[in-house]
Structure 1
Amino acid sequence: MQELIPVTLVVGFLGSGKTTFINEILNGDHGKKIAVIENEFGEVGIDDEILSGSNDLFVEMSNGCICCSIKGDLVESLNKLLVHAKNFEHIVIEATGMANPGPIIETFFSSEELSRSFVLDSVIGLVDSEHFEKNLEKFENSEEIAFYDQIAFSETILLNKSDTRTSEELTSIREKVKVKNPNAQIISTTHSKVDLSKVMGTRSFDLKAIEETMPSANAVEYPFSWAGVIELKAGFYKFNIDHTHHNERMVFFKIDEDDLNDKIINYANSLFFSPQRRAKRGANVNVDEHILLDFGGEHTGRNILDIEFDGNYAFFISDHPSHLQLKILNREENEIEFKTDHSFKKVEHFHGNEINSISLEFSGALNPQSFEMFLNVLYSQYRDEIYRSKGILHFYGNDSRVLFQGVYSSLKFDHGREWADEQRINKIVFIGKGLIGPSLEAGLKNCIVE
């Protein structure tokens, strides 16, 4: 069986330093024989007279690397490279500046022809640290410019021009990048200089490497900060907030249980994404509604809870009751205490068209058929808006870890090492546009064998 040739995809735009990085490969003293497929060929220092006479061009550089300008689609280009230039150990593909790299990556996942000779090794994204905020403001919500798409698909991100920023500013940029791609290796660089052994030859798209690249913490974020369960008799109650600086969002509804569970949390989450009803100070608020408490700019608010039936009620609120100085009072002005309560990691802001990442960890053996159905429904719902997925799974009846990763709906599965004497934890990451963490979590937990 022939050894597969590793391929690295390089993305970056708007002065990120991508061309400098490519030039460093073509001219640097790194001891590697690398073939570079250039899109912006005229920027890498090749003589214009050499460029003018050919559709397909192969130029050998002084350090043994090969610079190529090849017309045609990706599969055709790589096959031409195999024919024309055989003395190389790695291929680097430069994506066009504004390009979403997703379709190129998916080609490596889905093309049987490519998989016979090539393997996607890594995706390197260069980010202009100096103008990060300006680019973010300008392109974050653009449908045409793939600013965050490039970040979402990159396994390694070079924060270039890091010498122009303070350490505090670089930390802030790192945190913003991590929200979009928690898996990425982030390296600060100047003049695009980096040890190539740290970013190439990493086999970061190899299924066997997934266990080393999974985030370690559950990162589901909710649209609420706090929830509590309280027992109420039928009647009217005062819902008092004595300290707030803005309008608050809340939902509440009757439950049969004494405490919260996944089903209750998922229902609350769905209500928070339903249309709001604005309730001004003094207005009645009812069960099963997404309520926006509008206090008209005041720091205190009084509303009336209309309770029709005796029982337990779950309240989900956008801020914590201790901060709001929240009290629920009966007719005798006695405070009713919550029986149980839970805090949640609240998403800072959510817009349905933003790229975000969801990281999940949970125990329980998954039914393989149920998991397959979950993925089918998921990709049908989101279509091409789930960019990346990867995970370590505990399948029912399987003593080995099941590893998977995907680009869009192209998925690969493999067996990992056997489970030792340890708790078998499922770890899954999704990166995409407008992903709702609690809904994904609920769907996955529905796959657990009871």
Structure 2
Amino acid sequence: MTQQQKEFPVTVVTGFLGSGKTTLLNRMLQENHGKKIAVILNEIGDVNLDSELVVQSIGEELKIMNNGCVCCTVRGDLTKICLDLIKKKINFDHVVIETTGMADPSPVAQTFFMDENLRKYFYLDAVVTVVDAKHIDQNLAEIKETQDQIGFADVILLNKVDTIDEKRLQEVENKIKTINPIAKLFRTVNSNVQIGEVLAINAFDLQARIEINPDITKEYHEHSHDDAIQSIYLEENRPLDIEKVNRFMQLVLNELGNQVLRYKGILYIKNESKRIVFQGVHTTMGSNEDREWLPDEEKKTRIVFIGRHLPKDVLEEGISLCVAK
């Protein structure tokens, strides 16, 4: 069968902000499974920092969809990008779509069995949902999409299990099984699942889905996000002082802790030859050294804050106060 006639499996990776989706995606790209993966990344906001945080060796197989959620405004873009992979004869065996943390995966999945053009070349292999074990209660209580993501999964990675004890873990697993009793569940730290458990597993069963939700095959789809949630992008070209950054972030979390859902960025730190990647969820924050700055790369700090009613001017001023002397 030629590339043009072959049907390609599609894996949709979903999960709320900061659950570990990008970590899972990097595992998929780095493991020695012999598959050539085309990646489609979607993020809310004009700037997609996730593309910076994904392994950078995949070149033209990496497609970015900015400024819109894949489950609503950019579904047409999703169809176009997938068909472009075929049209441009890009060499790939498998498509992985990482949705924004605010996406309901059902319309994304729906695109692949409702769109006749896509059906000729692609089929939905599995919906994989990454769940943050520590923050699941908060996310379920505040964000409708968290329940949709769990309910629609074929495979669930209960991630960050090292952050809670066994008794709490059992409670969380029971809660997940109440929402979705049919998904395969794996406990993970840093999304460390065997890739054979999430790729090319032929787990999506449309008939089973229709039994759960008969409306899934209807074309009409209405999806609304929490309008209070916004994405704020900040840049700073001057090198920062890491101690000042840490103090500033502690202040942000103390003052805006309930409003901040997710933050991530690449920091340009004074006297540091490597980029520093920092990210966090709610009030849990961490950072690590990344690769060396490239000779022709513009050194600058780029940060995205995602949350409710965030004061952009305060965050901008805070970053400017972190500039090194």
Normalising by the smaller structure, the TM-score range is 0.5 to 0.7
Task: Supply the AA of the counterpart residue of 1:17.
Answer: G
Give, in whole Å, the separation in 1 of the partners of 2:148 and 2:65.
Answer: 25
CA RMSD in angstroms, aligned pairs only: 2.7
Deviations 1:421-445 (A, max 9, x none): xxxxxxxxxxxxxxxxxxxxxxxxx
Structure ranking higher in strand proportion:
1
User: Where does residue 104 of structure 1 map in the other structure?
Assistant: 108
Q: 1:27 to 1:166 in 2, by over 3 A?
A: same
Residue 21 (1) aligns with residue 24 (2): yes
Give, in whole Å, the separation in 2 of the partners of 1:69 and 1:45.
Answer: 11
Q: 1:118 to 1:30 in 2, by over 3 A?
A: same
User: Where does residue 410 of structure 1 map in the other structure?
Assistant: 217
- Output aligned runs, 1:365-384, within 5 Å: none
Q: How far 1:156 moved relative to its partner?
A: 0.5
Residue 61 (1) aligns with residue 36 (2): no
Q: 1:26 to 1:84 in 2, by over 3 A?
A: farther
Give, in whole Å, the separation in 2 of the partners of 1:27 and 1:406.
Answer: 36
- Output aligned runs, 1:303-322, within 5 Å: none
Give, in whole Å, the separation in 1 of the partners of 2:20 and 2:179.
Answer: 21
Q: How far 1:85 moved relative to its partner?
A: 5.2
User: Where does residue 91 of structure 1 map in the other structure?
Assistant: 95
- Output aligned runs, 1:291-302, within 5 Å: none
Q: 1:184 to 1:14 in 2, by over 3 A?
A: same
User: Where does residue 332 of structure 1 map in the other structure?
Assistant: none
Secondary structure at the counterpart of residue 104 of structure 2: coil
Structure ranking higher in helix proportion:
2
Give, in whole Å, the separation in 2 of the partners of 1:130 and 1:148.
Answer: 15
Q: How far 1:100 moved relative to its partner?
A: 0.9
Q: How far 1:115 moved relative to its partner?
A: 0.9
Asked which structure has the greater RCO (Cα within 8 Å, sep 6+), the reply is: 2
Give TM-score, length-normalised by structure 1: 0.41
Instruction: Indicate which of 116, 125, 128 corresponds to 2:132.
Output: 128
Unaligned runs of 5+ in 1: 48-58, 140-144, 215-387, 391-404, 412-450
User: Where does residue 8 of structure 2 map in the other structure?
Assistant: 5
Task: Supply the AA of the counterpart residue of 2:49.
Answer: G
Residue 117 (1) aligns with residue 113 (2): no
Q: How far 1:153 moved relative to its partner?
A: 0.8
- Name the stretch that deviates more: 198-207 or 185-194: 198-207
Deviations 1:243-273 (A, max 9, x none): xxxxxxxxxxxxxxxxxxxxxxxxxxxxxxx
Give, in whole Å, the separation in 1 of the partners of 2:166 and 2:60.
Answer: 35
Instruction: Indicate which of 120, 126, 142 corresponds to 1:138.
Output: 142
Residue 389 (1) aligns with residue 196 (2): no
Q: Is the 8 A contact 1:155 1:184 kept in 2?
A: yes
Q: Is the 8 A contact 1:22 1:44 kept in 2?
A: no
Give, in whole Å, the separation in 1 of the partners of 2:145 and 2:190.
Answer: 23
Instruction: Indicate which of 38, 50, 58 corresponds to 1:43.
Output: 50
Give, in whole Å, the separation in 2 of the partners of 1:206 and 1:176.
Answer: 23
Task: Supply the AA of the counterpart residue of 1:408.
Answer: D
- Total equivalences in the alignment: 202
Task: Supply the AA of the counterpart residue of 1:86.
Answer: I
Give TM-score, length-normalised by structure 2: 0.56
- Output aligned runs, 1:51-450, within 5 Å: 61=57, 66-70=61-65, 73-84=77-88, 86-139=90-143, 145-206=144-205, 388-390=209-211, 408-410=215-217
Unaligned runs of 5+ in 2: 67-75, 219-325
Q: 1:167 to 1:46 in 2, by over 3 A?
A: closer
Q: Is the 8 A contact 1:4 1:117 kept in 2?
A: yes
Q: Is the 8 A contact 1:102 1:407 kept in 2?
A: no
Q: Is the 8 A contact 2:41 2:50 kept in 1?
A: no
Give, in whole Å, the separation in 1 of the partners of 2:172 and 2:78.
Answer: 33
Q: How far 1:82 moved relative to its partner?
A: 1.9
User: Where does residue 32 of structure 1 map in the other structure?
Assistant: 35
Q: How far 1:26 moved relative to its partner?
A: 3.1
